[in-house]
């Protein structure tokens, strides 16, 4: 079976690149090969492309171009936000949850192990929600903290309200960072009207190229260099810029914003359709996350009743031509169970599959997938 004939339900891991994005990148790869740090004509052209892309991203988010810094992706940007807050802002305490992306969770754990900070891990409910009062009570005792909470969970889809958390952080003078990798390009973001100090994104999550992302850092925050080397990204991140990738990122985000309402309506309808089909046809099916509340419309985490056939469920779906995930893409190749499902206290004896949707998916693909699940599970 060729990839073209397979069903792709793993858009939370990565998305197909828009053809228009590829078209925008190819001339840069072919013709604009100058180093953006060079002062000659070739370099100046490359520099102009980067700054044009920066202005485009900033305009979409309603921020200053000086607040946008390009990175190699979401993981680097998460590291940058957390490590630089500790190093440059004197942060000694971090508030987060055990269901954050590993780029956040492992960074905090490393800093704790080095004695650089202490950390408080917030309690989460069985559907992945946090208690705002708990954040406030912790900040009352540790006002100069970094609060880092993802906007939308990549495995179960549960979301937080950025402004609600941000207002509490502002009250106590805390720094607020949010990993918005799963929400950038899917929900409109006016960062001037959002109480947040730093957010980050990865282009490949919104139909752009891999290996490029950005971080927004609110003006005046005082964060300094993450990667030492040259003076790129206004001395914040050394290393020659990925010019074609940055151009592709800007084009992909422009297209994402142009289609943002259409995308939400189409994918939300598809997710609701799959929920209905699964409830009707598979006895004992359950769902992880806050599917009836504030949740990513792109992610559906399905929990199936335990049985012998279910143990190989993900493998058998792959054989049937359906690409999906048993957890986040960053851990799907390992034997380690999902830290998110463990963190919400899910029954780990029940196999869980994450289906994540894009504009290319159809109801016919949902029908085929549910039928294959019935065959595999023997319902």
Q: Which residues are catalytic?
A: 330
Distance between CA atoms of residues 85 and 82, nearest Å: 5
* Count of CB atoms situated within 10 Å of the CB of 26: 13
Structure tokens given for 176: 């607020």
With DSSP H G I counted as helix, E B as strand and the rest as coil, what are the percentages for the chain, rounded to 5? 45, 15, 40
Structure tokens given for 374: 């019935």
Query: According to the 3-state scheme, what is the secondary structure of 33-45?
Result: CCCCCCCCHHHHH
| CB distance 195 to 176 below 8 Å | yes
Residue 172 exposed, middle or buried by CB count within 10 Å (0-12, 13-18, 19+): middle
| CB distance 94 to 145 below 8 Å | yes
Distance between CA atoms of residues 320 and 371, nearest Å: 11
| CB distance 104 to 179 below 8 Å | yes
Q: Residue 251: CA atoms inside 13 Å, Cβ hemisphere, count?
A: 21
CA dihedral sign, ordered 280, 286, 287, 289: positive
CA dihedral sign, ordered 31, 34, 35, 41: negative
Buried b (16+ CB within 10 A) or exposed e, 49-68: bbeebbebbbebbebbeebb
């Amino acid at each position: 079976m060729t990839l073209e004939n397979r069903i792709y339900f793993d858009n939370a891991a990565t998305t197909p690149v828009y053809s228009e994005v590829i078209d925008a990148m190819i001339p840069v790869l072919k013709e604009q090969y100058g180093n953006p740090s060079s002062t000659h004509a070739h370099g100046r052209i490359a520099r102009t492309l980067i700054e044009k892309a920066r202005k485009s991203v900033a305009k979409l988010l309603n921020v200053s171009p000086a607040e946008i810094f390009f990175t190699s992706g979401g993981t680097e940007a998460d590291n940058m936000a957390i490590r630089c807050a500790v190093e440059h802002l004197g942060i000694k305490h971090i508030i987060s949850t055990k269901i954050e992306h590993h780029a956040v969770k492992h960074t905090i754990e490393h800093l704790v192990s080095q004695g650089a900070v202490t950390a408080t891990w917030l309690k989460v409910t069985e559907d992945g929600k946090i208690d705002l009062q708990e954040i406030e009570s912790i900040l009352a005792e540790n006002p100069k903290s970094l609060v880092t909470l993802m906007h939308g969970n990549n495995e179960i889809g549960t979301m937080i309200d950025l402004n609600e958390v941000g207002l509490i952080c502002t009250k106590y003078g805390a720094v607020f960072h949010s990993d918005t990798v799963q929400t950038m390009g899917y929900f409109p973001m006016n960062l001037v009207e959002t109480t947040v100090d730093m957010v980050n994104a990865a282009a490949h999550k919104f139909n752009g190229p891999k290996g490029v992302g950005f971080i927004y850092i609110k003006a005046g925050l005082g964060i300094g260099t993450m990667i030492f080397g040259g003076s790129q990204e206004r001395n914040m991140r050394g290393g020659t810029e990925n010019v074609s990738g940055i151009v592709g990122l800007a084009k992909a985000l422009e297209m994402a914003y142009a289609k943002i309402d259409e995308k939400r309506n189409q994918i939300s309808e598809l997710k609701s359709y799959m929920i209905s089909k699964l409830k009707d046809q598979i006895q004992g099916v359950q769902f992880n996350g806050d599917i009836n509340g504030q949740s990513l419309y792109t992610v559906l985490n399905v929990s199936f009743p335990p049985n012998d056939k279910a143990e190989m469920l993900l493998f058998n779906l792959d054989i049937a031509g359906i690409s999906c995930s048993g957890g986040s893409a960053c851990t799907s190749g390992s034997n380690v169970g999902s830290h998110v499902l463990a963190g919400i206290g899910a029954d780990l004896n029940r196999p869980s599959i994450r289906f994540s949707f894009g504009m290319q998916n159809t109801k016919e693909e949902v029908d085929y997938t549910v039928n294959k699940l019935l065959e595999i599970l023997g319902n």
